[in-house]
Amino acid sequence: MLRRVVRQSKFRHVFGQAVRNDQIYDDIRVSRVTWDSSFCAVNPKFVAIIIDASGGGAFLVLPLQKTGRIDKTYPTVCGHMGPVLDIDWCPHNDLVIASGSEDCKVMVWQIPENGLEEPLSQPAVVLEGHSKRVGIVTWHPTARNVLLSAGSSCQSSSVLGKEALPQLLFHPLTP
């Protein structure tokens, strides 16, 4: 007796639908840097995307309502001397974003309420102290104005308001 076996799946009857062209972001030069990052960050007002930029690192900050083709001359956040590796929005203020870069710096940016109308090159805060590239920046989810940065130098730094806290030195695990 031959039985017909059907594989059980919860997703067997789920189908996707393509998004219309007016609901996507088009013509964005996403960074080609090989780093373990999502290359974007989203909050209730903006989406930020790390892009390829000549002469240093940059990222776009787009209002969520601005979809479609993005002009190549759209203003960017461009203050790093090396490629940007990670970005993260502050969970307590939708206008504050932090970025870490290969130039060993962490920069905290204040985005204008209506978004960027001209390139932003002056950060609100610059954190220096890493001796190698900064690959991870993340805000504390519940404590205000606490930012953690980490990278290849096995160091981390935190910021509270506009004053840098003492750096914490973490030693790599040794066998």
Looking at this protein, which amino acid is placed at residue 33?
Answer: V
Average pLDDT over residues 42-66: 91
Place of tokens 């309502």: 65
Is residue 89 over pLDDT 60?
Answer: yes
Average pLDDT over residues 86-104: 93
Is residue 109 over pLDDT 90?
Answer: yes
Give the SS3 label for residue 23: helix
> Measured between alpha carbons, how far is 132 from 155 in angstroms, rounded to an integer?
9
Q: What is the pLDDT of residue 165?
A: 42
CB neighbours of 64 closer than 8 A, spacing ≥ 6?
Answer: 42, 44, 45, 46, 47
> Measured between alpha carbons, how far is 169 from 71 in angstroms, rounded to an integer?
43
End-to-end CA distance of the chain: 59
Phi-psi group of 54: left, alpha or beta (phi > 0 → left; psi -120 to 50 → alpha; rest → beta): beta
> Measured between alpha carbons, how far is 14 from 31 in angstroms, rounded to an integer?
33
- The phi, psi pair for 23, rounded to 5°, reads -115, 10
Residue 166: band (very low, low, confident or very high) from pLDDT cuts 50, 70, 90? very low
Q: What is the pLDDT of residue 132?
A: 85
Number of Cβ within 10 Å of residue 79's Cβ equals 21
How high does pLDDT run on average in the chain? 82
Number of Cβ within 10 Å of residue 166's Cβ equals 7
> Measured between alpha carbons, how far is 73 from 67 in angstroms, rounded to an integer?
15
Is residue 163 over pLDDT 60?
Answer: no
Q: Answer whether 90's CB lies under 8 Å from 58's CB.
A: no
